Amino acid sequence: MTVWVEVEGRQRRVELPPEAAAGGALRCSVDGSAVEVDARAVEPGVLSLTIEGRQYRCVLDGDAVIVIGRGGGRRFVFAVEDTRSLRGRRGAGAGASGTRTVKAPMPGRVVRVLVTEGDEVAEHQGVVVIEAMKMQNELKSPKAGRVIRVAAAVDTTVGSGDALVVIE
Amino acid sequence: MKKVLIANRGEIALRVIRACREMGLATVAVYSDVDRAALHVAHADEAYRLGPGPATESYLRGDLILDVARRSGADAIHPGYGFLSENAEFADACAAAGVTFIGPPASAMRALGSKTRARQAADRAQMPRVPGSVTGLASADEALRVAAEIGYPVMLKAAAGGGGKGMRAVTSAAELPAAYTAASSEAERSFGSGEVYLEKLIEQPRHIEIQLMADTHGNCVYLGERECSVQRRHQKVIEEAPSAVVGDDLRRRMGEAAVRLALSCGYVNAGTVEFLVSRDQDSGEQNFYFLEMNTRLQVEHPVTEMITGLDLVRMQLRVAMGEPLGIRQQQIRLRGHAVECRIYAEDPENNFFPSPGLITRLMRPGGPGIREDCGVYAGWTVPLEYDPMLSKLVAYGETREAAIDLMLRALDEYVVGGIRTNIALFRRILLDEDFRASRIDTGYLERLLSLPAAPADAEIPDDVVALAVALFASSSKQSAVAASAAPESRWAAAGRREGLRG
């Protein structure tokens, strides 16, 4: 079977044999190059992979895989998607064109809203201040543009990932 | 003493509960609404609700805590650190209710609680302190006069201060009046007292502190020092014991000065005297200056326990029962080296933004030389309401180098899923040449963080990550991960759910 994965923004094509789900010695390929891997589930969400004798412990953590080796665990954000939608999304979100949304990075309380709809903002200009764990944090615009929507209201509680301000 | 109420939460509450268990004392936990499922509650014999999540409505409500003591028949209260631990009114209220407060008497807390009064006490105990005023400044004019006497640069500090609030470094007379007003109003806002004083700014000092333990029979010993110079925004990040730059003679002088101060104030139980240590540019001699005294058990007490072989919490409990220390200064031996990392729910890659939330996975290190005082578990949701410290990881080795290498190995094993932590930051510090050579001062970490981070070890090929992701996809329940688009998108969501289930 073919699985398209995107790791740290780079798209890879992985071919797995039909028995992959059961684990064991597997003949796979990544972007067309053959790889012999021995895969064992050591606990739910944790795989031990050996490739040419090197062992990697891989931990599934939400939308990331943490690979533990010498030098500590490294976290890789991934997505599993098909080529079409990946390309589509790149086209819409890339560069300075299109809309970008400032989202709450964590749950907290909105302390100040620094922009109103219709405002022109510069890249990295502060748009909203949220307070969480006794710390105030200013969230900045990811691009230069115009504010087309302000969803944040002062003194309201927001959850992680909530849209606060949309910039076009 | 038969039953101890622990007026705290998290790892320190659990630490105290464990010591009580070992000594055959019953334990009473208290909790706020967001802490019902917290680890410290699950370890206690009895547990009672205080109130809503915010500390001002729960862990800072001395009246509610004393109600619980009465209801449960607890005859002593351990305050831990933070919250009510340095609150003299609460210690008084405990005494009035006939409950033993496991800590110093309220009078000693008052004598040392204000930084200006503590500086006066230091003078009486003939202890070196940072030059400057020992009373609050009445005006900007007085500030200018004191600053002219001791010379710039100077530091304005709130008498009631802590955590860097109400503090301003000033390099010239021109800046002083505005800084005085700013520091005073910030102190007023933060602590309800605008009293500020002025002291000479010690450049690139090390923060080194002496652990004390005193009993009710007039005995007081010092248990060596802790090096706490690795700080970010005045908060300690890594602590170690002993300090690489404190020799026997300096240790004895600092220890004896700290004991003099404690005895002069009628101090009892565990306490810490903080010093700034700097090397004189000309003579090369190391000078130490009294900074303040913390009238409680400190977060970083485990490193002292590792190198002395003593259990500070059990000592605290025995002192509170009225027993003598049972150990003399000459019997205290330091052995080996201990390093502690404070593991926080925060994201070093995103400006140390707090990262509370559900811990989906907790893979904790083990092996020789590792101690962990941990207050969380997989499935626990780190609340927004409190300090985001998750755990204290301590490594003990025969030498400083061995302890650091042991800690690096333990950090490699440590995985926290669901939330972000500062674990990677510790790797960076522990591998840094200056840290390893102990060329550190209180500005060290901010300087390190202003430099670009070295790229992560290129030990993990991209192919491995791609394979792991694909294999997780194929082994998930929705293993119809075929070539078509829709099932794969569904899997992405399923993968996230699986991650959450942990």
How confident is residue A97, by pLDDT bands cut at 50, 70 and 90? low
As a whole number, mean pLDDT of residues A33-49 equals 94
Residue type, B406: L
For B495, the token pair is 């993968």
A107 lies within 8 A of chain B by CB = yes
Residue type, B458: A
Query: Which domains does chain A possess?
Result: 2-83 (2.40.128), 95-167 (2.40.50.100)
A window 18-77, beta carbon within 8 A of B: 20-21, 23, 28, 30, 33, 35, 37, 39, 41, 44-45, 47, 49, 51, 56, 58-63, 65-74, 76
Contacts of B212 (CB under 8 A, 6+ apart): B220, B221, B222, B223, B258, B259, B262, B267, B270, B271, B272, B273
Q: Which of B168, B296, B420, B428 is catalytic?
A: B296
Task: Give this complex's ipTM.
Answer: 0.76
Residue type, B129: R
* Chain B interface test: which of A40, A59, A78, A80 (most B C-beta within 10 Å): A80
CA of B160 to nearest chain A CA: how many angstroms apart? Answer: 19
Residue B374's DSSP bridge partners are B391
Question: Could you give phi then psi for residue A67, rounded to 5 degrees?
Answer: -105, 120
A158 close to A103: Cβ distance less than 8 angstroms: no
Q: What share of chain A is helix, strand, coil (3-state, %, to 5)?
A: 10, 60, 35
pLDDT at A11 over 80: yes
pLDDT in tens, A51-86: 999 999 999 998 899 998 776 788 898 888 644 333
Helix axis angle for A83-93 and B485-501, nearest 10°, is 80
Q: How far is CA A164 from each of CA A115, A141, A151, B78, rounded to the nearest angstrom?
A: 11, 11, 5, 43
**CATH 3.30.420.40 holds for B3-102:** no
Q: Which residue of B has its CA nearest to A18?
A: B474
Contacts of B105 (CB under 8 A, 6+ apart): B91, B266, B268
Whole-number pLDDT of residue B457: 62
CA angle, residues B199, B201, B204, in degrees to nearest 5: 150
pLDDT below 50 — which residues of chain B?
A: 477-502
How far is it, in rounded angstroms, from Cα B441 to Cα B438? 9
* Chain B interface test: which of A128, A133, A134, A138 (most B C-beta within 10 Å): A133
The whole-chain average pLDDT of chain A stands at 83
For A100, the token pair is 């970008």
CA of B409 to nearest chain A CA: how many angstroms apart? Answer: 8
Domain ranges of chain B: 3-102, 103-128+204-335, 131-200, 462-501
Count other Cβ atoms within 10 Å, centred on residue B412.
Answer: 17
Count other Cβ atoms within 10 Å, centred on residue B385.
Answer: 21
Q: Looking at beta carbons, which residues of chain B come within 8 Å of A33?
A: 463
DSSP state of A100: E
Q: Please give the full DSSP string across A34-67, using - where no structure is assigned.
A: EEEEEEEEEETTEEEEEETTEEEEEEEETTEEEE
Q: Looking at beta carbons, which residues of chain B come within 8 Å of A7?
A: 462, 465-466, 469
* Chain B interface test: which of A28, A60, A85, A157 (most B C-beta within 10 Å): A60
CB contact (8 A) between residue A59 and residue B361: yes
Q: Which CATH number fits domain B103-128+204-335: 3.30.470.20, 1.10.1280.10, 3.10.100.10, 3.40.1710.10?
A: 3.30.470.20
Q: Which residue of B has its CA nearest to A86?
A: B485
CB contact (8 A) between residue B472 and residue A65: yes
B58 close to B83: Cβ distance less than 8 angstroms: no
B306 close to B371: Cβ distance less than 8 angstroms: yes
CB contact (8 A) between residue A70 and residue B412: yes
| Residue carrying structure tokens 């599993």 | A80
B423 close to B407: Cβ distance less than 8 angstroms: no
How far is it, in rounded angstroms, from Cα B115 to Cα B196? 9
- More reliable by pLDDT, A87 or B141: B141
How far is it, in rounded angstroms, from Cα B318 to Cα B334? 22
How far is it, in rounded angstroms, from Cα B269 to Cα B95? 16
Q: Which residue of A has its CA nearest to B485?
A: A82
- B126-156 burial code (b ≥16 CB/10 A, e <16): ebbbbebbbebbeeeeebbebbeeeeeebbb
Provide the greatest CA pair distance for chain A: 59
How far is it, in rounded angstroms, from Cα B232 to Cα B442? 8
Q: Please give the full DSSP string across B426-445, using - where no structure is assigned.
A: HHHHHH-HHHHTT---TTHH
Residue B314 known to be catalytic: no
As a whole number, mean pLDDT of residues A126-134 equals 82
Q: What is the dihedral of CA B299, B302, B307, B308, to 10 degrees?
A: 90
pTM listed for this prediction: 0.84
How far is it, in rounded angstroms, from Cα B160 to Cα B190? 9
Whole-number pLDDT of residue A69: 73
- Give the 3-state DSSP-derived string for A62-97, with helices as H, strands as E and coil as C: CCEEEEEECCEEEEEEEEECCHHHHHHHHHHHCCCC
CA of A64 to nearest chain B CA: how many angstroms apart? Answer: 9
Which among B353, B467, B483 has the least Cβ separation from residue A1? Answer: B483
Q: Which CATH class is domain B131-200?
A: alpha beta
Nearest to B130 by CA among B245, B276, B258: B276
Nearest to B185 by CA among B167, B169, B172: B167
Count other Cβ atoms within 10 Å, centred on residue B103.
Answer: 29
A4 lies within 8 A of chain B by CB = yes
Q: How many CA atoms lie within 13 A of A146 on its CB side?
A: 3
B274 close to B216: Cβ distance less than 8 angstroms: no
